[in-house]
Amino acid sequence: MTESKVSSESSAVHVDRLSFRYPGGPAVLSDISFTIAPSEIIGLVGPSGAGKSTLLQHLNGLLPSKLPESVGQVENLPHVCIDNLPVSRQTIAEVRRRVGFLFQDPDDQLFCPTVFEDVAFGPLNLGLSDIEARQRVRDSLASVGLAGYEPRSTLRLSLGERKRVCLAGVFACQPSVLALDEPFSSLDPRACRTLIGILKKFSGSQIIATHDLDVVVDLCHRVLLLDAGQLRAAGPTADILGNAALMERHGLEVPWRLR
C-alpha cells in the first residue's frame, strides 16, 4: 500500500517507494511511501519482524550501504527526505543532525562513563563551544526530569533513567524529527507516563515504533501499520487501531482504550 495523499512539500519526513533487503536476505521493506507533517506524531505498529526498526534506521541513514552517493542521484530513485533534504552520502551529516534516533536498548546508545559526557557528546560533535554544550546538557537533562544528573555514572541508573539520558542526548542536538524505536519497552507505568509527558512537549515531528498500542492511542495523531515489510494501512489512530478485523489480520489487538 502507498500512502500518497499528503503533499511532500511541507513534510518533515517524506519516504518515496523505499525497498530494502539485508545482504543475501529476503525483502524486508517493499515499496514503502509516506509523509510526516511538521509536529505530527506517528505510531509505527506491526508484529515483530515487520520491518519497523529497519524503516526507522533509514530515516537517518543508519543503513549507509544503501545510500545514494549524491542528491543529484536521488531525483528519480526511491528515496527518503528529511525537511525536504534527500538522504544521501553528501547530506548524511546534516540529516543526522536533524533526526534524533533513540535505540530500543540504551546500551546501544550510551557509551561514555558519565551522564554529562554522554549528553555533551552530540553538541560538542556539532562544533559547539564548551560553554554552549554545557548549557545544552543542563537544558536537555532538565527537560527529561534529570536535572543535576551530570556527574552520575551511566552504568548506575535505572532503565527508565538510562532511556531518559539517551533522550536528553538526542534533545541536546536540537533535532527537528525524533525516530524512536520501542521507547516504552521495559518501562514501569510511572516511567512510561513520564516519557509520554516529555514526548508530548516536543515540538518537532515524531515517529515511534512500539507494541504499546494504548500509548499510541494517547500520543499519536496517525498510525502506519507495517507487516512483512509492506505498509498495510495508514490513517488516524482510532480508525486504524479500532479496526478489529484489520488488527487481527496483522496479528495485533485493538487496544483497551478503544474497546
Q: What residues make contact with ligand ADP under the rule CB under 6 A?
A: 22, 25, 28, 46, 48-54
Task: Give the distance, in angstroms, between the CA of residue 186 and the centroid of all CA atoms in the same chain.
Answer: 17
- Judged by beta carbon, residue 35 or residue 104, the one nearer ligand ADP is 104
Cβ at position 44, least distance to ligand ADP in Å: 8
Cβ atoms of 31 and 229 within 8 Å: the answer is no
Which residues are bridge partners to 114 per DSSP?
A: 153
- Judged by beta carbon, residue 146 or residue 252, the one nearer ligand ADP is 252
Cβ at position 197, least distance to ligand ADP in Å: 25
- Judged by beta carbon, residue 25 or residue 127, the one nearer ligand ADP is 25
Cβ at position 7, least distance to ligand ADP in Å: 28
- Judged by beta carbon, residue 119 or residue 166, the one nearer ligand ADP is 166
Written as nine digits, the cell of 137 is 546538557
64 CB burial (10 A radius; 0-12, 13-18, 19+) = exposed
* Integer Cα distance of 252 and 241 in angstroms: 9
Cβ at position 43, least distance to ligand ADP in Å: 13
Closest C-alpha among 11, 23, 142 to residue 79: 11
